[in-house]
Amino acid sequence: MCIETITALKKCQALSDISISYGIQPKLNCILSPNCGKKIKDGEVDMMVLDADKIAFFKRNYGISKPILYATSLYHHLYRKMSAIMLTKNVAGDLQQLKGKKACFPSYDGYVWNSFLITLKLENIESFPNNNTIKNFFKESCAILSSNQNVIAECDFDDILPEDSNKNGMWIETQTLRCIIEGGGDVAFINTLHINQYIDILRSPLNLPNNFDVHNFSTVCNRKNRISVDCPLSWSYFGHILAKPNISSISKNEMTSLLINMDMTFGRRSKLNNNLLPPVFSMYGPFDDFADPMFPADTEKLETIKQLKEHQTPIAPQYESYIHILNDLKPTVSSSVLIMPFSLLQLLIIFKLLFKYCI
């Protein structure tokens, strides 16, 4: 398995070692590399974990194939979702009314960023959305993390949040919500699943009153709906386990069985059965006081595509199913010019034929 950070490598090695002691075979070999995408494309490694935030980047650069496993939750009660959140007193009536507002994003080119572009396309607000669309659609916008300052600047915040705010991977979206509370932003694109926890983290640093809660926010929905509860514009699984291209069926089944056995032994257990003891090692969740460095935040279980089909999913568009539409290219002026003569030629031929036979 290819790993991109030192902390993730430590967790991967710990998982591998304890699995061997429990008789789980074959041994999971953990390989550190700053570019796992290239290594898996070139067939130099067998598999890697891909967070939903990196799916678009990987598809563009490496043409990643279908996952062998998906990172999801117990009983499928949780998904990664993207919603447009505003303070209720300033809420817009629909998505079109967000034009000209100041937007706050968790990161550039991540799941939330690309989900909004997909939404603009699906709602017929923008035919060919791209990174510049966000710059033109909003009066001003910022991202908590930006790898391209020319497209979107980072939000200018002092880091006043408690050190443990990122233990469960909540720091970036907590800061995104903060952007509309005190940062001058109008709309924050976040996952509303943990909004109560974001508010609790912000309460002391921002001196929020005790009655400031989720009811102070409203969600801007598609099709001119507006409600104060969850109204996602898209959803996604937390992440994927990707295998190298052209992998044999035997190797694929071997890797899948290995990870499923690890999941059953060291993953999250049923919350309904109090007789089950917690695993001696936690496959998912914080590690060494850091947010999970190996698996995406909120991951509780790994499942195959066959298992996923047995469960009901959210009504909103699925991110992975629509991400390809961002590759649609806008027709250029030159291409339309080339098409015109051909169309006119066809009309002239038809006209001559009609004229000939009419006479």
- Give the residue ranges of DSSP H helices in 3-54: 6-21, 36-41
Beta bridge partners of 242: 48
CA distance readout (Å), 344 to 331, 332, 333, 339: 19, 19, 17, 9
Cα angle value 276/277/278 (rounded, 5°): 120
In this structure, how many other beta carbons lie within 10 angstroms of the beta carbon of residue 191?
A: 26
Residue 111 has pLDDT above 50, yes or no: yes
Decide the pairing of beta strands 69-72 and 239-243: antiparallel
CB 73 within 8 A of CB 300: yes
Distance CA 52, CA 76 (A): 16
In angstroms, the CA 344 to CA 292 distance is: 61
pLDDT at 192: 85
CA dihedral (166, 156, 149, 111) positive or negative: positive
CA separation for the pair 27, 41 (Å, rounded):
22
Q: Is the pLDDT of residue 344 over 80?
A: no
- Exposure string over 92-130, b if 16+ CB within 10 A, otherwise e: beebeebeebbbbbbbbbbbbbbbbbbbbbbeebbeebe
- What average pLDDT score do residues 148-158 get? 91
In the CATH hierarchy, which fold is given to the domain comprising 2-75+238-312?
D-Maltodextrin-Binding Protein; domain 2 (3.40.190)
Give percent above pLDDT 90 in the chain.
70
116 in Cβ contact with 134 (< 8 Å): yes
Model confidence over 273-296: pLDDT tens digits? 455 556 789 999 999 888 899 999
Q: Region of 198 please: left (phi>0), alpha (psi -120 to 50) or beta.
A: alpha
Query: Are 83 and 192 within 8 A, CB to CB?
Result: yes
At residue 229, the pLDDT reads 56
Helix (H, G, I), strand (E, B) or coil at 337: helix
Q: Does the pLDDT value for residue 151 go beyond 90?
A: yes
Whether the full predicted model's pTM is greater than 0.85, yes or no, is: yes
- CA distance linking residue 239 with residue 272, whole number of Å: 25
Within this chain, domains 2-75+238-312 and 80-235 share the same CATH topology: yes
Q: 284 with 298: CB under 8 angstroms?
A: no
Name every residue whose Cβ is closer than 8 Å to that of residue 101 and which is 6 or more positions away in sequence: 92, 138, 139, 186, 187
* Mutual angle of helices 111-122 and 55-62, in 10-degree steps: 80
Tell me the domain boundaries of the chain. 2-75+238-312, 80-235
Closest to 118 (Cα-Cα) out of 225, 232, 230: 232
Report the chain's C-alpha Rg in angstroms: 24
170-212 tens-digit pLDDT = 889 999 999 999 988 999 999 888 999 999 999 999 999 999 9
Cis peptide before 205 (omega within 30 of 0): no
Structure tokens at 60: 């563009």
Band (pLDDT 50/70/90 cuts) for residue 346 is very low
Coil, helix or strand for 288?
Answer: coil
Chain mean pLDDT for the chain: 87
CATH of domain 80-235: 3.40.190.10
